[in-house]
Chains A and B, each alone.
Chain A
Amino acid sequence: DAMVIQNPRYQVTQFGKPVTLSCSQTLNHNVMYWYQQKSSQAPKLLFHYYDKDFNNEADTPDNFQSRRPNTSFCFLDIRSPGLGDAAMYLCATSGVRDMTAQPQHFGDGTRLSIL
């Protein structure tokens, strides 16, 4: 089945040690999103790609970066994780072939823990 796949499902890193989370999709969607979701909260958009065009949310910390080497893959890099970055990170995609609203398709997330 076409889907959004996130690896790993669980990631443990040390305070200040860089970490990379990955997302791949087989939907051939133009747009890929990264969300941060803390416990019992709604997902918070960090940034998104529209094809290769990177769009950062105004309040996303500089500590968070992203790369999209091709249509299928997108990576979230956290340069120096702090304890406050422990969260579930969700990747999502959406298609834009027409302008009617299309829902976002989510992966199962990566739960990041900071030691």
Chain B
Amino acid sequence: AQSVTQLDSHVSVSEGTPVLLRCNYSSSYSPSLFWYVQHPNKGLQLLLKYTSAATLVKGINGFEAEFKKSETSFHLTKPSAHMSDAAEYFCVVSDPNSGGYQKVTFGTGTKLQVIP
């Protein structure tokens, strides 16, 4: 069984300061992990993915995440927040043994607020 825990339901940062969104996972297999962003009334957009290559993954819009197996974590970071980063972020784990399709488990989401 797999699970994802997003440790903060809301995060508030000032524009220009670093962003840290925390995610811990549990998986019986070598997981694939993803971060998605969802702006209001929009679908989910893939930010980045980890699929057992480099542990430090760079994504779009200046985001990156580091896979730490020893800590079972996949935290999302960005050096400097922009107003346009205000959105909800979902950490997702994928079970690679689900028979040819990607059965995924979503975290509960973290709403990022960026203060001008």
- Give me the interface of A with B, judged by CB distance under 8 Å: 4, 6, 30-31, 40-43, 45, 48, 50, 55, 88, 90, 92, 94, 96, 99-109, 111
The answer for the CA separation of A102 and B36 in the assembled complex, in Å, is: 13
Q: Which 10 A-B pairs have the closest CB atoms?
A: A101-B32, A106-B43, A42-B106, A106-B44, A108-B43, A31-B101, A103-B46, A101-B51, A101-B94, A94-B102
Contact A104 B43, beta carbon cutoff 8 Å: no
Minimum CB–CB distance from A97 to chain B (whole Å) comes to 10
Interface residues of B (CB under 8 A from A): 32, 34, 36, 41-46, 49, 51, 90, 94, 96, 100-104, 106-109, 111
Pairs A–B under 8 Å by Cβ, sample size 30: A40-B109, A41-B108, A42-B90, A42-B106, A42-B107, A42-B108, A42-B109, A43-B44, A43-B90, A43-B106, A45-B104, A48-B101, A50-B100, A90-B44, A94-B102, A99-B96, A99-B100, A100-B51, A101-B32, A103-B34, A103-B46, A103-B102, A104-B44, A104-B104, A105-B46, A106-B45, A107-B43, A108-B42, A109-B42, A109-B43
